[in-house]
Copies of this chain bind each other. A is one copy, B any other.
Amino acid sequence: MAEELVGNVLVGQSGGPTAVINASVAGVVSEALNHECIEEIYGTLNGVLGILQEDLIDLAAESQQAIRGLRTTPGAALGTVRYKLKKQQDFERILEVFKAHNIRYFFYAGGNDSQDTADKISKLAQEQGYALRVIGVPKTIDNDLVVTDHCPGYGSVIKYISTTVREIACDNAAMGQHDLVQIVEVMGRNAGWIAAGAALAKRRDHPHDPPHIILLPEVAFAPEKFVEDVKRVLKREKYCLIVVGEGLVDADGNYVAAADTTDAFGHAQLGGAAEYIQSLVEEHLPGIKARSVKLGNAQRAAAHLASKTDSDEAFLAGQRAVQAAVDGETDKMVTLIRGDGDHYTVETGLAPLSDISNGVKKLPREWINEDGVSMNFQFVRYAQPLIQGEVAVPFDNGLPAFAHLEKRRVEKILPAYEL
């Protein structure tokens, strides 16, 4: 048994929100209440910024209803941040705030950068001999954290996208008399994990089901091949449904949708990936209508359609972070470990924060079919368990009722800090 460390908890959120990052906070808070060594449970507003500015709130003072409501509330209830700590002085300030409020347990939910920040805070505390336990909680729709089998947030975003694709497919199929190209733009600046997830919309043994073409950042975009691919689909099906990741790149590694560039055909580029694809279709396939949908922030906020598996795992990751810290662990992130059996099971583990912050998990090339625009059974086997189950979101007056924290401020002790 590790030495008992008595003190307060601080939990924060960082990076892009997801449909389930609040479930992780709910997991931290509800587990923290189980341990006598934990006295106060604080949250930091807007991640490290809130620490620097001593903007802390008392999470134990929130109603139980509100904390339970976090399990089905999108966004980041504590506020999130993309602020990158640079100065050594920033890190010193953070420890100063921790000491002032007797923070002995720090839980940070976020992606690579956030885990890197948590790692640095942890290391500095060790150097200074300040007893602090730091455990990261994985969070990202991008699913690009290493070591962990997958990341909380990913299952929900691909459940939403594949549902949307299946629904749009019904709409498209209904207009069967028309030659229609439907484009759905999804997130994923650097990897195709999210776009690939749309493959789940296909029913088993229905190879003609949409999406017909998935454009991944992992496969250099070649406009000529693309136009031929679309022609082939239109010949075979009534319409062509294309899912495109916003981070699509050409053979030189440049974003196809970047402004002020020209494509392989020499045309000027405008706006997002969907518009680019739409303009290609309109130009090279006369008589074909192209329609686009850009899911934008809606996809990572769609709590009403969150995956129960994902939501439960996000909650579990928060709980396990607290348990690990109480057990004496520090400077680690909770990971999800998939069982070997045919039936999906998940356990949690721990990985050093430095391992997480230094790596990026790529979509395996061998999960992409040779055609470069569809996913094979290995991907489906990986992703399908992550979207299972529906979350019972409370509805009020016809709309999802989300939790709103009261955010009772913890009294500031220190002088103000200049950012």
Q: Which residue of B170, B177, B298, B305 is within 8 Å of A402 (Cβ)?
A: B170
Say yes or no: A171-B46 contact (C-beta < 8 A), given A293-B295, A399-B159: no
- CB pair B384–A388 under 8 Å, yes or no, is no
Q: Is A79 an interface residue (CB 8 A)?
A: yes
- A164 contact set on B, CB distance < 8 A: 298, 302
Which of A46, A171, A303: most chain B CB closer than 10 A? A171
Q: Which residue of B167, B170, B302, B390 is within 8 Å of A395 (Cβ)?
A: B390
Stretch from A34-42, A69-77, A357-365 forming part of the interface with B? A69-77
- A395 contact set on B, CB distance < 8 A: 390
A4 → B minimal CB distance (Å): 35
Interface residue tally of chain A, by bracket?
Answer: 35 or more
A287 → B minimal CB distance (Å): 15
- A168 contact set on B, CB distance < 8 A: 296-298, 301
Q: Is A191 an interface residue (CB 8 A)?
A: no
- CB pair A167–B291 under 8 Å, yes or no, is no
- A307 contact set on B, CB distance < 8 A: 398
Q: Of residues 97 to 131 in A, which have CB atoms within 8 Å of B's CB atoms?
A: none
Jot down 27 A-B pairs with beta carbons below 8 A, ordered by A.
Answer: A17-B174, A75-B173, A80-B174, A82-B175, A163-B399, A163-B400, A164-B302, A166-B399, A166-B400, A167-B298, A167-B304, A167-B402, A171-B300, A184-B298, A201-B399, A271-B271, A274-B294, A292-B294, A293-B294, A293-B295, A293-B296, A294-B294, A305-B305, A384-B397, A384-B398, A387-B398, A389-B398
A212 → B minimal CB distance (Å): 15
> Quick one: closest B residue to A183, CB to CB?
B296
- A330 contact set on B, CB distance < 8 A: none
Number of copies: 2
Q: Is A382 an interface residue (CB 8 A)?
A: no
Q: What's the Cα separation between A80 and B173 when bound, in Å?
A: 9
A247 → B minimal CB distance (Å): 16
Overall SS of chain A's interface: mixed
Q: Is A32 an interface residue (CB 8 A)?
A: no
Say yes or no: A171-B74 contact (C-beta < 8 A), given A176-B79, A384-B397: yes
Q: Is A140 an interface residue (CB 8 A)?
A: no
- CB pair B74–A398 under 8 Å, yes or no, is no
- A204 contact set on B, CB distance < 8 A: 397
A154 → B minimal CB distance (Å): 13
> Quick one: closest B residue to A185, CB to CB?
B294
Q: What's the Cα separation between A71 and B44 when bound, in Å?
A: 46
Q: Is A275 an interface residue (CB 8 A)?
A: yes
Q: Which residue of B167, B291, B292 is within 8 Å of A74 (Cβ)?
A: B167
